[in-house]
Amino acid sequence: MGKIKYKFNPESLKYYRVEISVKQKALKGLAYLFAFLVNASIGYLIYSLAFDSPKERGLKRQISEMNLNIEIFNKQLDNIESVLGDMQQRDDNIYRTIFEAEPLNYSVREAGFGGSNRYKELEKLENSKMVINTARRLDVVTKKVVIQSKSYDDLVKMAVSKEKMLGSIPAIQPIANKDLKRTASGWGYRIHPIYKIKKFHYGIDFTAPTGTEIYCTGDGVVQKTESSQRGFGNSIVIDHGYGIRTLYAHMLAFKVKQGQKVKRGDVIGYVGNTGISTAPHLHYEVLRGGEKVNPINYFFNDLTAEEYDRMIDISMRPGQSFD
């Protein structure tokens, strides 16, 4: 039921009834409808800008989960890269030094990937920059692992070919020396036990009861057994090859003969007090290229890092040698 409308006529000073045609009514209706539609559209637009649909919310959650995963991957890559870096450093600085091999060329390790764009497919993805970055890091790490593994293969080959050398180099203590209690006097200036003057002591003295077993410290051949009442007393020299020899002095008795092949750890004789010696002990020397060198550097099979430090401490103590 439409309202009845009146209009005031200023000339006749009368109100008169306004007649509205069907056409006008229809136009008015359309105008209302149009306004409603416009309002609704704007409302929906504002709503959808401010609030996501459930589907959008789901997708957004997936994206943020994926981003988190990629971040976790990158953190793991950080760890792997750091472990790998450590392996490379040990490889170059320790293993390759032992085997006298050149460090691996830096450009070999850091070599990139040539050729076409490997990540073209990934460029189409959402977050392509992040994904490509991660993929690239993964490629680099994979390649480094392969190179490192090849380098270790080389080292294994070198170790096998140098096995003889590693077996020959003196690498243990010449007597059982638990807790290093038998280490008495080391390399350096010491008071001579008989002459009572400062003399350079070219070896390490191990105090031990007469008859204690003496071990050969590396594979080799008995070059000389010498029986004497003076100087080194009863002594043995072993030739290890590679220009390295060891000397064992003041022995009670020998268990090997000149020319005999010996292995590291073989008993070659017994601790005594022969020659110029003030108490039963073993005087041990290492010679390289004819020069006497500090034996402390030739116990590496035998000692932990801590024991090694302690042995240096003990053998450095001033005082008297047993000669």
Whose CA is closest to 222, among 168, 259, 272?
Answer: 259
Please, are residues 205 and 321 in contact by the beta-carbon 8 Å criterion? yes
CB of 282 to Zn ion, least distance (A): 8
Q: How far apart are CA 171 and CA 169, in angstroms?
A: 6
For residue 130, the one-letter residue type is M
Phi, psi at 168, each rounded to 5°: -85, -35
CB of 294 to Zn ion, least distance (A): 13
CB of 201 to Zn ion, least distance (A): 6
**DSSP sequence for 208-234:** --TT-EEE-SSSEEEEEEE--SSTT-E
Which residue is at the shortest CB distance from Zn ion? Answer: 283
Per CB under 5 A, contacts with Zn ion among 129-188 are none
First to last CA, the chain: 133
For residue 177, the one-letter residue type is N
Per residue in 234-258, is it b (16+ CB within 10 Å) or e — as a string? bbbbbbbeeebbbbbbbbbebbbee
285 binds Zn ion (CB under 5 A): no
CB of 285 to Zn ion, least distance (A): 8
Q: Facing residues of 235 across strands?
A: 226
Number of C-beta neighbours around residue 29 at 10 A: 10
Q: How far apart are CA 27 and CA 275, in angstroms?
A: 134
Q: In terms of CB distance, is 185 or 225 closer to Zn ion?
A: 185
CB of 296 to Zn ion, least distance (A): 14
CB of 205 to Zn ion, least distance (A): 4
Q: Facing residues of 191 across strands?
A: 198, 320
Q: In terms of CB distance, is 245 or 283 closer to Zn ion?
A: 283
Binding region for Zn ion (CB under 5 A) out of 84-92, 200-208, 236-244, 260-268: 200-208
Size of the site for Zn ion (CB under 5 A): 4
Binding region for Zn ion (CB under 5 A) out of 12-20, 103-111, 278-286, 295-303: 278-286
Binding-site member from 96, 131, 174, 205 for Zn ion (CB under 5 A): 205
Q: By CB neighbour count within 10 A (0-12 exposed, 13-18 middle, 19+ buried), where does 74 fall?
A: middle
Binding region for Zn ion (CB under 5 A) out of 81-89, 94-102, 198-206, 258-266: 198-206
CB of 176 to Zn ion, least distance (A): 18
Q: In terms of CB distance, is 190 or 240 closer to Zn ion?
A: 190
Q: By CB neighbour count within 10 A (0-12 exposed, 13-18 middle, 19+ buried), where does 221 fall?
A: middle
283 binds Zn ion (CB under 5 A): yes
CB of 310 to Zn ion, least distance (A): 19
245 binds Zn ion (CB under 5 A): no
**What is the per-residue binding string for Zn ion in 294-323, x denoting contact by CB under 5 A?**
---------------------------x-x
Q: In terms of CB distance, is 266 or 323 closer to Zn ion?
A: 323
Contact residues: Zn ion, CB under 5 A: 205, 283, 321, 323
